[in-house]
Structure formats: structure tokens, C-alpha cells
Amino acid sequence: MQTFRVFDFPPTLNELNNLHYRVRAKKKEEWSKIVYNACNEFDIKPVMKTIITLEFYFPDKRRRDPDNYSFSAKFIFDGLVDAGILIDDSFKEVQELRIRQGGISKPKHILIHLEEVS
């Protein structure tokens, strides 16, 4: 299993719904760079078939809906493809997506786990 950390969260679905399409495109580009840089920093190697777990560490105990954060996968998957870690972000390559709360932490961050499967 390979794990890397990103210190921030991609926009949630609710946040994206309120953005102009050009701003959304810019956010996607920013997150592609963030994920690319994190993969390089943590020396993440390309994977074929994988289970991806997004483990969110929030700064407080406020109630949050997992489905709103599930959209974060789009930005992260696109960044993994751009970084060459995933060939594609289809079901052929990404066998399963898991989302979970990891705990309370300041600063907020996501641990991204890539578990290659055969």
C-alpha cells in the first residue's frame, strides 16, 4: 500500500455548485498540480488495479456528510492520472473507492491510500 498526504480538501459538491464554470476549471487544474506534487514528494509509484481510500482529517467535530466529500475523488483521480500514477480513472483501474473520516487534526488534510489489487 502507498499513502500520501494532501494538506487541504478539494471543493465539495455543494461548493462547486456555487462556482462559475471557469472557476471550477481553474480549481480542477490547481488540484491536479497539488496531487502531482504530493505524488512526487511521497515518491508514489504507478499502480494498475487499485482500491483508493480517501481518509479525511477535519479540524473540528462538526457534522459532515460523506456524500458531499465523495466528489473530492474526481479532483484527486484526475490528478493521479495527470501524474502518471493511474493509467485511467475508470472502473477498470479503480476497483473500489472508500471514503472515511480519519479523525480531528489541524491543519486539515487527506490521507490518500492506494492499495494495488491483483
Query: Each residue of 55-75: pLDDT tens digit?
Result: 999 999 999 888 888 888 889
Structural domain spans, the chain = 2-116
Indicate yes or no: pTM above 0.95.
no
Sheet strand arrangement including 109-116: 2-6, 109-116, 50-58, 94-104
Cα(69)–Cα(56) distance, rounded to whole angstroms? 9
* Residues 6-60: tens digit of each pLDDT: 998 888 888 888 888 898 889 889 999 999 999 999 999 999 999 999 999 999 9
pLDDT value of residue 18: 83
Residue 118, pLDDT above cutoff 90:
no
Q: Residues 6 or more apart from 115 whose CB is under 8 A from it?
A: 1, 50, 51, 52, 53
User: What class is the 2-116 domain?
Assistant: alpha beta
pLDDT value of residue 28: 86
